Structure 1
C-alpha cells in the first residue's frame, strides 16, 4: 500500500453547523503538517457553493487540496440517531468515504470535526493496515459492550479517528454490513455507527496509541495549565468528545484552550469563543463554578488538598 511520499489523504464530514470547527481543525492540520502534502476529502452537507469556494481558497492558500463529495441524504436519514445532543446525521458519513474517493487512494485518515491536530500526522498515516480494514485507538470511557459481543476490556475503539484501508473496507463490505447492523439492531445503538463498527471489526482492526485520539476521558483531572502544555507535547489529535465542546461556555475540558488557539489562527479569528452566551443567573453560576474549580487547580489548592487527604 505504498503512497506518494508525504501525501496524506484526510476524510472530513460536517454540515453547516460545524463550519467554524471545521476551519479550526484544518487550520490546526496545516499549522502542524507543513512537511506533508495534505489532500482533504470532504462531505459538506448543506454547505452552499459560495462557502465551498471560500474553503477551497483557504485550503489552496495553505498549499493543500480539497475535493467535495455528495451523499444522498436518504442513505442516512432513516438510520437511528442516538439520543445525544452532540450527535448529528453527519456522524454516519464516514462509513461512505471509501466508496466515494478515487480507487487509487488506498489509505484514508478519517478525523471527526470536533478535534484539533497538534502534531505530525505522518506517524499515524504510516501505521500498517495492509491486513485489516482500519486502525483506531481504544475508547477511554467504554470498556465493555456485551450486547455488541465485547465482553473483555480492550476491544471497544473510538471511531472518531480511523486510518482506513479503503480496499479492504470495500471488499469486506464494511459499509453494507454496518448499515444492515444499524437497521437490524436499533435497540443496541448508543454511539451511532461506532457501535456497528465495533460489533463488526472485533479482532479485525489495528489498535493505535491514544496519543492519536485524546478524548475527554483521557485527560488527567488535576493538572495545572502549565502541566497541560507538557501533557500534549507528544500528542497528535485532541478529540473534544461528549457535550464538553470548547465553543460552549460551561465546557469542562481543560484542553479547550488549544481549540481557542487555533480559532485565533483561522479565518474566524474575530469570532467570540463561545456560541452559547446567556444572560441567565443559573447558567452564569454554573460557568463560575467550573472556572473557580479550574482556578483552584491551577493554583495548587485542590490538588494539595487531595494529596494531603490521600496520604492520611
Structure 2
C-alpha cells in the first residue's frame, strides 16, 4: 500500500529541539514507499526553531506542515486549568485528528519520542473496529494506587480496566471527528477537574476506556526500562537533553545520534534546573489564568 502516513505531534518552543530528533528518526528508519506527512501543532515555536526542524528532513519523502494551535481549538472550547505541572500544550493531543482534516487515520506521537523501526509497521496495524490503538501504561489499571483514575469508582469503571499511555496513539481520525471525541473528553475534564492527575491522559482514559486496541509495548517503550532496540522510545521522565537525565544511557545515545543529523547538531546538555523552572512557570501561568477566568 502506498498511502500517505499522517503523523501528528505538538510542542511549544521549550521542547522544539526534541521534535527535530523525532522527525529525523522517522525519516532514517522509514524504508517502505509511503510518503510521510508530519503535521506539527505549533504552540509558540520560534521562527528559528521552525526553520531548523524543517531542515532536519531531506529528500522529500518526509514533509512537515505547521498548524497554529490557536487555529485548531474551536472558540467555544476552553482547556481545563488543572493543578498539575503539565503544560497546556499536552491537551492539544485531543485535537490531533483535526489537524490533518483530510486524514482518515493518524499516528499521534509525543514530542519526547524517537522511532527506531519503520513507522509503516505501526501505520498498517489493523484497528479491528477499535477507535484507536495504544500501549498499556506503567500504571497498568485505572485503580492504580498512586495514579490511574482516582475517581474510577464514582465513574463506574471496573477496577481491573486497563489504563493506556497517550504518548503514542494510532487513531481512526474520521471516527474521532464524526463522534466528536474531543468535545466529549474536554467536557469530561471540566466535570472532573479536581481529579485530574495526568492532564489529558486522565480524560482520554476516563472517556475511552475499553475502546482501544492494545499494542505491543515495543511501540511505546518507556525509557527507564532496559531494551537493546525497541521500535519506539518514549522519554517519559527527564528528557535526554538535560544533564540530570536518569533513564537508560543507551537511549540517550540513540537520541543524540538522530539529533546530531539535524541543524541542532552539537547541542550541549542543559542544566536540570531549567526543567524545574519550566514546571514552576507552568503552575504560575495556570494559577493566573484561573484568577482571570474567575
Q: 1:251 to 1:75 in 2, by over 3 A?
A: farther
Q: What does 1:55-204 align with in structure 2 at a 5 Å threshold?
A: 55-61=53-59, 63-72=61-70, 78-84=79-85, 87-103=86-102, 105-129=103-127, 131-143=129-141, 144=143, 145=149, 147-148=151-152, 149-153=156-160, 155-204=162-211
Unaligned runs of 5+ in 1: 221-230, 279-312
Q: Tell me, in whole angstroms, the C-alpha distance in 2 between the residues paired with 1:75 and 1:256.
A: 41
| Contact 1:82-1:192 within 8 A present in 2 as well | no
| Contact 1:24-1:266 within 8 A present in 2 as well | yes
Match of 2:41 among 40, 43, 52: 43
| Contact 1:109-1:164 within 8 A present in 2 as well | yes
Q: What residue number does 2:287 align with? A: none
Q: What residue number does 2:267 align with? A: 271
Q: Tell me, in whole angstroms, the C-alpha distance in 1 between the residues paired with 2:42 and 2:2.
A: 28
Q: What residue number does 1:16 align with? A: 13
Report the alpha carbon displacement of residue 216 of structure 1 after superposing the two structures with TM.
4.0
Unaligned runs of 5+ in 2: 144-148, 274-294
Q: What residue number does 1:309 align with? A: none
Report the alpha carbon displacement of residue 96 of structure 1 after superposing the two structures with TM.
1.0
Q: More displaced, 53-62 or 17-26?
A: 53-62
Structure 2 residue 244 is the aligned partner of structure 1 residue 246? no
| Contact 2:41-2:99 within 8 A present in 1 as well | no
TM-score, normalised via structure 2 length = 0.80
SS of alignment partner, residue 36 of structure 2: strand
| Contact 1:56-1:66 within 8 A present in 2 as well | yes
Q: 1:175 to 1:6 in 2, by over 3 A?
A: same
Give the aligned length.
258
| Contact 1:150-1:156 within 8 A present in 2 as well | no
Q: 1:43 to 1:201 in 2, by over 3 A?
A: same
Q: Tell me, in whole angstroms, the C-alpha distance in 1 between the residues paired with 2:12 and 2:38.
A: 16
Per-residue Cα deviation, 1:148-201 (whole angstroms, up to 9, x for no partner): 355444610000000010111112221001110111111111111111110111
TM-score, normalised via structure 1 length = 0.75
Report the alpha carbon displacement of residue 237 of structure 1 after superposing the two structures with TM.
0.8
Higher relative contact order, chain-length normalized (CA < 8 Å, sep 6+): 2
| Contact 2:20-2:56 within 8 A present in 1 as well | no
Q: 1:55 to 1:76 in 2, by over 3 A?
A: farther
Report the alpha carbon displacement of residue 142 of structure 1 after superposing the two structures with TM.
4.3
Q: What residue number does 2:231 align with? A: 236
Report the alpha carbon displacement of residue 256 of structure 1 after superposing the two structures with TM.
2.0
| Contact 2:52-2:264 within 8 A present in 1 as well | no
Match of 1:261 among 245, 257, 260: 257
| Contact 1:81-1:88 within 8 A present in 2 as well | no
Larger radius of gyration: 1
